[in-house]
Amino acid sequence: MSRTAWAWCALIGVSTLFGQPVIGKKSIRPAAPTASAAGLARGSAFRIVGDNLGPLDAVKAELPYPAEIDGVKVILKNKASGTEVQAFLSQVGAFEIHGIVPSATEAGASTVRVQTSAGTSAEIEVNVADQVLGIVTTTSLNGALAATDILRPDTAPQRLRMTAPAHPGATLSILASGFGPINTSDGDPAVEQPLLEGAELIVGGVALPVRYAGRYPGKTGYDQILVDLPEEGLKLGCYVPVSLRAGDQLSNAAFLSIAAADQSICDAGGALTPEAIQAIDEGRQVVVPGFEITDSATEFDFGGESIEFHTRAASGAFYAYSSYELESGLAFLNGTVQNLNGCSVVTLEGTSDDYETAEASGLDAGEILKFDGQGGAQFQLERQPTIIYTGDLGSSIPVLPGMFSLEAKAQNMIRQAKSAAVKQAGQRRGNFPVVAPELTPGTYTLSGTGGVAIDAFTATIDLGAPITWTNKASINDIDRGNPLQVSWTPGPAADVVTVTGLAIGPVPGAPKALGRLFTCQAPANAGGLTVGADILQLMPVTGGTEDSMGLLSVLQSNTPPNGRFKAPLVGGGETEYGQIGYTYGGQKSVNFQ
């Protein structure tokens, strides 16, 4: 459209529609950032993104919400019965529609179409479920900061932020969605209505009873979680994992910022200093280095063959963070302890394409960075188009950099394993490419001569002695009804061992196979940890179908201050403290039964 036409429409206030409405790919989503494969819950808020969906100037409806705004309708059709219902609409515009799935909608495979005065969109398939538990986040991204208010007697609620964290003993109100249908009109002003019985909020691996889980009074189409934090026993930090559990259902992943009573800013565990968090909260951008050395072995079953491959690589960047990246959880750097001596579980429905994601941008530090290590070891990290630096130390698979959130790690694990299996299928262990010698413990130096944004720098890390996973061979079929003991040789006291289990398989009530990932941590010198049956019972059953798989990994990593460093910025100043990390260990195929 010409600029003159746009100006004319704006001048006369015309809400003209231009062309047939088009719903974007995977753009029908619930209010909480659950995977698109999970679908929409009856009685819950959703949004549709696309083109020509409504008037150029967005129109917001008053309560009670209608089923039509300016000729715009959203129609849901059950594929089995053919029954159609119109969604309640709260806002319509050219590129986005906000609405509520009526509680009376039939559950099951359905289609959604948008109808306007200019035409009707193609029907898009979507699953309608009785429940799709979801925690709403501040950036609308999975794994981000939960949209939370701290409730205080006789004062207005305080929005939870990293510079205004929750403290032990606080009462939290968490915005959520997908708890299920209600017995009143979905378009009317929302009133209190409990929907989940016996729900628990899993905070840093600790299951807390929920005081209330139901419709959010005053927030039509949304749900509310009320929970009291205990005075002691909780993990503290900027990135404390949180998810909601009700029966065998688990919500999407999010995080809370929790600090000691005398702290006004949460502890990022070495990922960011309090000063950096404050600067970001004030609207400034900070630069944080993050690099990682990986040395891991994987045993993978593929087509009846046992395949083994090795990864020795390094990657990282000088990341620029704003509040958006910070609250999206992108400041997870290697060495940041999330959940020492505890376990957490997240749901991974579909593939990484099912989630909206955010990425921190890297800054240029030159074309090549160098690592110098023990025994004359030397290798290079090359700058990639995304200004992430990667170096392969002799692996039999490609380097997969950029693993920040738990879910990103899981998705990379899946892609890495399947890619290697396909490439190496039919090759025996003795035919694999020769890999570099094992990394010798000791001091390693990372250096660069400088680039557009980062000046010449030098940083060091001490690689500790690697642990050995002593009962690896005996763990093959995991009984989900009994605790799982994982053992290793004691390692350096300052290191942490992370045990991660990934299961992809059928889950009752889900439209397709989904994945769940548990993560447990313990000090490396502990020599082992136990994964409780309450955690294992949340994992899908694996084995027997092509779309199921199970993996178990035991990884050792360092913690600050080992590997911490700053680098000078071109033009003056320096980065915030960042981290060089290392990860040793291995992973293998298992079955969850």
The predicted pLDDT at position 505 comes to: 83
In Å, how far are 373, 416, 442, 459, 564 from 445, measured between CA atoms? 6, 28, 10, 6, 12
- Is residue 1 packed enough to be buried (19+ CB in 10 Å), middle (13-18) or exposed (0-12)? exposed
CB 193 within 8 A of CB 182: yes
Residues 6+ apart with CB under 8 A from 418: none
pLDDT tier, 111 (very low <50, low <70, confident <90, very high otherwise): very high
- Statement: residue 122 has pLDDT above 80: yes
Mean pLDDT of 399-403: 37
Mean pLDDT of 469-481: 94
Mean pLDDT of 222-250: 93
The predicted pLDDT at position 17 comes to: 52
pLDDT tier, 356 (very low <50, low <70, confident <90, very high otherwise): low
**Lowest mean per-residue pLDDT among 179-193, 218-232, 336-350, 408-422:** 408-422
CB 100 within 8 A of CB 220: yes
Highest mean pLDDT among 64-68, 231-235, 562-566: 64-68
CB 244 within 8 A of CB 199: yes
- Is residue 584 packed enough to be buried (19+ CB in 10 Å), middle (13-18) or exposed (0-12)? buried
Mean pLDDT of 523-543: 91
Tally of CB atoms within 10 A around 67 = 17
- Statement: residue 465 has pLDDT above 60: yes
**Lowest mean per-residue pLDDT among 139-148, 213-222, 331-340, 578-587:** 331-340
Tally of CB atoms within 10 A around 572 = 7
Q: What are phi and psi of 159, to 5 degrees?
A: -70, 130
Rounded CA separation 114/72 (Å): 7
**Lowest mean per-residue pLDDT among 79-83, 236-240, 347-351, 417-421:** 417-421
pLDDT tier, 363 (very low <50, low <70, confident <90, very high otherwise): very high
- The string of DSSP letters for 114-128 reads EEETTEEPPPEEEEE
**Distance between alpha carbon 558 and the CA centroid of its chain, in Å?**
22
In Å, how far are 298, 482, 520 from 471, measured between CA atoms? 15, 17, 17
- The C-alpha R_g of the chain, in whole angstroms, comes to 25
Higher pLDDT: 435 or 533? It is 533
Higher pLDDT: 333 or 384? It is 384
Pairing of strands 477-478, 305-321: unpaired
CB 97 within 8 A of CB 74: yes
In 356-398, beta strands by DSSP E: 361-362, 368-372, 378-383, 389-392
Reading the block at residue 329, the tokens are 């959880």
Residues 6+ apart with CB under 8 A from 189: 63, 64, 218, 220
- Statement: residue 85 has pLDDT above 60: yes
- Statement: residue 253 has pLDDT above 50: yes
Reading the block at residue 237, the tokens are 């930090």
- Statement: residue 409 has pLDDT above 60: no
Q: Residue 3 in 3-state DSSP? A: helix
% of residues, the chain, pLDDT over 70: 81
- Is residue 546 packed enough to be buried (19+ CB in 10 Å), middle (13-18) or exposed (0-12)? exposed
In order of their start, the domains of the chain are 15-128 (2.70.50.70), 134-258 (no CATH), 281-592 (no CATH)
The CA-CA-CA angle for residues 387, 388, 389, to 5°, reads: 115
pLDDT tier, 205 (very low <50, low <70, confident <90, very high otherwise): confident
- The string of DSSP letters for 105-159 reads SPPEEEEEEEEETTEEPPPEEEEEES---EE-BTTS-TTSBB-EEEE-TTS--EE
Pairing of strands 40-41, 124-129: parallel
What's the mean pLDDT when you consider all of the chain?
Answer: 84
**Lowest mean per-residue pLDDT among 91-95, 317-321, 356-360:** 356-360
pLDDT tier, 10 (very low <50, low <70, confident <90, very high otherwise): very low
Reading the block at residue 61, the tokens are 């409806």
User: What's the length of the chain?
Assistant: 593
Higher pLDDT: 110 or 281? It is 110
pLDDT tier, 395 (very low <50, low <70, confident <90, very high otherwise): low
| Dihedral angle sign, alpha carbons of residues 234, 246, 408, 587 | positive
The predicted pLDDT at position 396 comes to: 54
pLDDT 10s digits, 476-527: 999 999 999 999 999 999 999 999 999 988 765 555 667 888 889 999 999 9
pLDDT 10s digits, 438-448: 678 999 999 99
pLDDT 10s digits, 144-175: 999 999 999 889 999 999 999 999 999 999 99
The predicted pLDDT at position 130 comes to: 96
Rounded CA separation 338/492 (Å): 18
Q: DSSP secondary-structure letter at 440?
A: P
Reading the block at residue 428, the tokens are 């025996």
Residues pairing with 319 in the sheet: 288, 362
The predicted pLDDT at position 512 comes to: 62
SS (H, E, C) 474-495: CCCEECCCCCEEEEECCCCCCC
Q: Which helix (H) or strand (E) holds 280?
A: helix 274-281
The CA-CA-CA angle for residues 211, 215, 217, to 5°, reads: 95
